[in-house]
Chains A and B, each alone.
Chain A
Amino acid sequence: MLSDAFIDEVFADIERLTSRDYAEIGVPMFLIAEDLSPGAAASVPPVSPHRSALLGAAFDQVWAAIVARKPELDAVDISRAIEVVADRYILALAASEFSRLTDEPTYV
């Protein structure tokens, strides 16, 4: 169950983000990666399931907030949800675990 405060925060984010001049700013986005080339594996699992789980859960929550308050949904709402999630998590999901900060550099 989402709190009203969480839903308010999502809609405040949407209002803040959509009020910017999109033609002159960098807009974060997460793109689902697919390899359809010959010989590719049928599916490539994410190397970091915990990051993927966090991303999926974040999208689910933001989408649930939109569904809870917006009576008529359309495709642009999905874009807004992804935009909110990407804006919030673009840097957080790129960060290594603290305990690995001094390991040999290999991003997983």
Chain B
Amino acid sequence: MPAAIDFAAGIAGLLSSAPTVTALNFHNTPAYKAAEYDRQFAIIAEHFAPTTEDDLAIFLATGRWPQAKPGIVLAFYNGYRNNFDVIRPLLERHGLVGWFLVASGYVACPPAEQLAFGATRTLRTIPGEYTDGRYALSWDECRELDRHHVVGSHTRNHTRVSLDNPAALDAEIVGSQTDFIRELGHPVRSFAWLFGGAYGENPLADRHVDRAGYEFLFSNYRLQRLRGERP
């Protein structure tokens, strides 16, 4: 498929010529894997510095990390409750910063409806993990994470939407930011697409990202800074 070959050539060129950010992407983090995550974080903390959005802004503007070690984005996608229960204490034990990229509608969903919500939106749950039926973060947990870590948006409903549907884009991109402003008391700076388009690929989606005011956009192969003061 020539398109894939052309695209791969472009990726290779960018990897050779542009700064890159190292990321480690997680989703569910069940308690039975806590020892494995603990060992990984110990090694990560040896090689990388805890990384905040301010650190990332400096790196994207200058190509340099402000700390003695390179930064790393430890990303936890979707808004799973086990990220708070299992991962948060491990990150803090190792002095690391987590990036919790949350589907705001999952958090807002009543616990009794979360299994059904997840089943139609590729949000996997661990059977029997929580007997009270709540598998998503609560807003209180999001607020707690927001104090020492990064909380960002991973859309509102974690569902594929047509990129030419303004109402759907508005709900997923702007609506999610509205949810965070209401619950955290401030807008979040980071947005991660569900299926990955970079800024510049779809003008309609870009306009919604601009309206929502996100500073950082995570897509399949890129991490872009869109606005903000010069660091």
Chain A residues within 8 Å of B, Cβ to Cβ? 22-41, 43-47, 52-53, 55-57, 59-60, 63, 67, 72-75, 77-79, 81-82, 86, 90-91, 93-95, 105-108
Contacts and interface: CB of A to CB of B under 8 A. Distances in A.
B43 interface: yes
B88 interface: no
Given A31-B218, A37-B225, A73-B1, A82 B11 contact: yes
B17 interface: yes
B227 to A, nearest CB: 5
Nearest to A56: B16
A64 to B, nearest CB: 10
29 contacts: A24-B27, A24-B29, A25-B26, A26-B40, A30-B22, A30-B23, A31-B20, A34-B223, A37-B225, A37-B230, A39-B230, A41-B61, A43-B18, A44-B61, A44-B63, A55-B16, A56-B12, A59-B15, A73-B5, A74-B1, A74-B4, A81-B8, A86-B22, A91-B47, A94-B47, A94-B69, A95-B47, A105-B68, A107-B67
A31 B24 contact: no
B147 interface: no
Contacts of B73: 31
A34 B227 contact: no
B182 interface: no
Contact of B222 (A32, A55, A75, A105): A32
State the main secondary structure of chain B at its contact with A.
Answer: mixed
Contacts of A22: 27
A106 B53 CA distance: 19
Contact of B4 (A30, A32, A73, A95): A73
A39 to B, nearest CB: 6
Contact of B221 (A27, A32, A40, A41): A32
Contacts of A27: 24-26
